Structure 1
Amino acid sequence: MNKKRKAFGSLLLASMLTLSMLSGCGKSNTAEPSSASPSEKASAPATESASTEASTLSGKVVFWSMWSNAEPQAKVIDEAIADFKAANPAVEVEIKYNGRDINKLIKPALESGQQIDIFEQDPSAALANLKDHVLKLDDLLAEQAIGDDGKSVKDSIIPSLIEWVKSLSGPAGLEEGYYAIPQQPYAVLFFYNKELFNKAGITEVPTSWEQFLAACESLKQAGIEPITFDDAYRSLFSGGYLASAMGSDWTDSLVKDKTGEMWKDPIVLQFAKDIQNLHEKGYFSKKIAGNKYPAGQQDLAIGKVAMYLNGSWLPNEVAETAGPNFQWGSFQFPTVPNGNDKGGQQGLTFGAQGLLLNKKSKNVPAAFELVKYLVSKKTQAAMGTQAVAIPATVDTKWPAPLEEAAIAFNNAKVNLPWGFGMENAGDFSSGTVFPVFMELATGKINADQYVAKMVTEAKKFYSGK
């Protein structure tokens, strides 16, 4: 996926320990897809049993997907639709694989009254931008899940995910409730090449900044470039550091501070000195100055660099380049010292794509029955094995490249926004915060110059507001 993940509100993850549990795409999460493909009718033999009620369903259901028909997720969806069709032969299913173009196509299509019964989107974006079109699902979620030992649909989904979706309703101006069913979960972590770590003699993943620096030095001494990123994900590294120290509420306040005075906080100078040190020590890839997405992740996949802070969709995006024998590992952003006790590894950026129903759908029963097949344990397990995606259902095996991500989920208690809050200032973030960070990370300015420039630029930007 590329960089444009939306921000997510804070959410306690107490229920996350029920995970055996919780990868995406794009601005949202897999390699940038192709444009919309023609609508296709799905049919194939079934292997999943349907409920008694489902056998009476009829009519037509139109599903707009966020995947392109060349992506592995599409194959899994086709299989789920085939199972649904076999159990519900009187229902016609039309699937349109839009790719991420759905983000610009869905609103005008819904507003024009085009038949769309089910669609996929980032739930936070959908509830904010399409709140007049989404159906409240609370009653439907009580229906029995497909192939999950008598659980309701709600209870079959990882608790933290389904409750996160509910938490989005209030800020969107909707009556509290569930308006999306999460699937294709993701989290932001450092992904690393275990083979290179082993070559450098690193036996444990770093959890503190001191350990992180030691790992970088070991990699450098072994002739391995430690860290890379590209233009699509540079916000994650700067935001990850400051949020690890101070929490994402603080970073949100930092980038929105109209006086510029917050940039004088000692933690900002510490951050700047540590980034300067990473550059001067040669821990950053020499290519970061010119890296355009997906250049950085390709360097990780071919073994030229050891670590990349990215989303859990990464192993799937680079699977063809990395090959089946790539040894994936992951760990959370290390804990930064001298913070305010609101950061550390209690926070994690996570979320999911979502399945939503059009509240003007004329065939809600059949549409929701299809959704049940899409989030069945069988389909979610296939997403793990075929698309290297985290399954959204409880007690479902995670794909091997993402197994270590479960450790981060078990540690986390707070849901952090995309970019750890550093993207929350719109044009100031994109036009000033990240370009000036790149000047620091590439040695064009030093730490003191960075602080002075950010104070000045913040005052200048907000003086016109």
Structure 2
Amino acid sequence: MRELREFRKIMVFTVLVTFMVSMLFIGTSCKQKAVAPQTTAAKPVTITWWHIQTADAEKALWQSLADEYMAAHPNVTIEITVLANENFKTKLTTVMQSNTPPDIFQSWGGGEMNEYAKAGLLKDITANLDSGGWRDTFSPGALGAYSFEGRNYGVPRDMGMVGFWYNKELFTKAGIDNPPTTWTELLKDVKMLKNAGITPIAVGEGDKWPGAFWWEYLATRIGGQAAFDAAYSRKGAFTDAPFVEAGNKIKELVALKPFQNGFLGATQNDDAASMGNGKSAMDLMGQWAPGTYNDSSADKKGLGDKLGWFPFPTVEGGAGNPTDALGGGNGFIVGKNAPPEAVDFLKYISSVDSQIAQAKINLSVPVVKGAEGGLTDPLLKIVQQGTAAAKYFQLYYDQAMPPAVGSVVNDSVQGLFAGTLTPEKAAQQIENSAAKEIK
């Protein structure tokens, strides 16, 4: 019995020890689970985004897309800076000189973007485009405007041609049955509009580039692709006959005094207000014009069904094809210090759904496949069709060439509009810059 009691004591003791060891192990295990590292929150990231859409509906759309992205990515803050076109260019020059580009910012592709790329101020997103089929969602021609030496630095959102937007009601009032198809007819219509007490043409020549559209289109109609290619390749020159003759045509137009009062100091916004409020009959402008007319009008509705569109008239005897188009588009490029999230956000605003939303408010002529269904405005459909039909598409000179040359083009053409430069002197100034800057 004594041995049995001792045995029972030993067994009880053993059980107690085993129980305590087990509890200690369980407690330690629980404690280890309690202090195990949790999934850490994504690191906070700020994206700086500069755009030039100052119209209310356009600003609201960009803001809503940024808000959607931030809601899905709580660690990301998108700081938007909205600047009018010329203010944007001025401020961008300053930050580029200080080597601090925004993460995502407005671009028209071409020469200026190429200069930034050569200076190492942009992020190469070629690999991003090649990953997951992003590249294949774009129209190749539109995407090509945002590449340099085989590398991509941004993406387009919009591409279209410049043409004449006109007030059909004012044309009818002046007795004009159909839009002009030749330069001679255009000048005739200008005279008819003036005789009816109507300002024929709005132009914001204080911004310079609106007037450059005229000279560039005339050079395209007169000399065709061959003239520009020869001058740009330095096998020819910007003093060749088509460019001088383009200046003569502008001189011929200016002599008719077709523009609104104060046009030399007017901005493109003034130009838009003149059209949107029914004060001028015509405006040579890009595909974004209807939206600016609406926003600049007193009732925010613009011209509605009164607005029409026609392509730049042919010039009798010119070498250019009637379908040749001057134009370009808008897009965004990526600054060199942009975080990966900036490229991801750029992909987000380049989606089909985003492009459809842009088209619905006439912000963009879509460049992403499948988004053309969002283009409901019949006039913008005509612009899109004209762009597609162009056998030669001439990019705006201030985008196609180095920025310094583009600036001289705009300045020289302003001199033509002001009557301070002859066609020969304007062409010579442009040639002098091209000879220095185009390598």
In 2, Cα distance between equivalents of 1:245 and 1:225: 27
DSSP-derived class of the 1:403 partner: helix
Displacement, 1:297? 3.4
Displacement, 1:93? 2.5
Displacement, 1:430? 5.1
Q: Partner of 1:66 in structure 2?
A: 50
Q: Does 1:123 align with 2:109?
A: yes
With over 3 angstroms needed to count, the CA separation of the structure-2 counterparts of 1:158 and 1:58, relative to structure 1, is farther
Which of 381, 384, 388 is the aligned partner of 1:410?
388
Q: Partner of 1:216 in structure 2?
A: 190
In 1, Cα distance between equivalents of 2:261 and 2:211: 13
In 2, Cα distance between equivalents of 1:161 and 1:305: 32
With over 3 angstroms needed to count, the CA separation of the structure-2 counterparts of 1:83 and 1:160, relative to structure 1, is same
Q: What residue identity is the alignment partner of 1:296?
A: D
Q: Does 1:135 align with 2:123?
A: yes
TM-score (norm 1): 0.66
With over 3 angstroms needed to count, the CA separation of the structure-2 counterparts of 1:388 and 1:453, relative to structure 1, is closer
Displacement, 1:58? 3.5
Bigger RCO (CA 8 Å, 6+ sep) = 1
User: Is 1:193–1:307's contact at 8 Å kept on the other side of the alignment?
Assistant: yes
User: Is 1:255–1:425's contact at 8 Å kept on the other side of the alignment?
Assistant: no
**Which deviations, in whole Å up to 9, do the C-alpha atoms of 1:149-208 show, x marking residues without a partner?**
xxx322322332113323xx12xxxxx132211124453222222332344454544333
Q: Partner of 1:321 in structure 2?
A: 296
**Which deviations, in whole Å up to 9, do the C-alpha atoms of 1:204-238 show, x marking residues without a partner?**
44333244345435534544332232322222212
Q: Does 1:371 align with 2:355?
A: no
Q: Partner of 1:104 in structure 2?
A: 93
Aligned length in residues: 377
Q: What residue identity is the alignment partner of 1:139?
A: A
Displacement, 1:415? 3.0
Q: Greater CA radius of gyration, 1 or 2?
A: 2
With over 3 angstroms needed to count, the CA separation of the structure-2 counterparts of 1:419 and 1:74, relative to structure 1, is same
Q: What residue identity is the alignment partner of 1:398?
A: L
Map of 1:26-425 to 2, 5 A cutoff? 58-67=42-51, 71-72=55-56, 73-89=58-74, 91-97=75-81, 99=83, 100=88, 103-107=92-96, 111=99, 117-124=103-110, 125-131=112-118, 132-143=120-131, 152-166=133-147, 169-170=148-149, 176-231=150-205, 232=207, 233-247=210-224, 250=227, 262=239, 265=241, 268=244, 272=248, 274-279=249-254, 282=256, 284-285=258-259, 287=261, 290-294=264-268, 295-322=270-297, 323-326=300-303, 327-341=306-320, 344-356=322-334, 358=336, 360-361=337-338, 363-364=339-340, 366-386=341-361, 388-394=363-369, 395-396=371-372, 397-398=374-375, 400=377, 402-419=380-397, 425=405
Q: CA RMSD in A?
A: 4.2
User: Is 2:215–2:246's contact at 8 Å kept on the other side of the alignment?
Assistant: no
**Unmatched 5+ residue regions in structure 2?**
1-39
With over 3 angstroms needed to count, the CA separation of the structure-2 counterparts of 1:69 and 1:269, relative to structure 1, is closer
User: Is 1:389–1:399's contact at 8 Å kept on the other side of the alignment?
Assistant: no
**Unmatched 5+ residue regions in structure 1?**
1-55, 145-151, 171-175
In 2, Cα distance between equivalents of 1:458 and 1:127: 20
Greater share of helix? 2
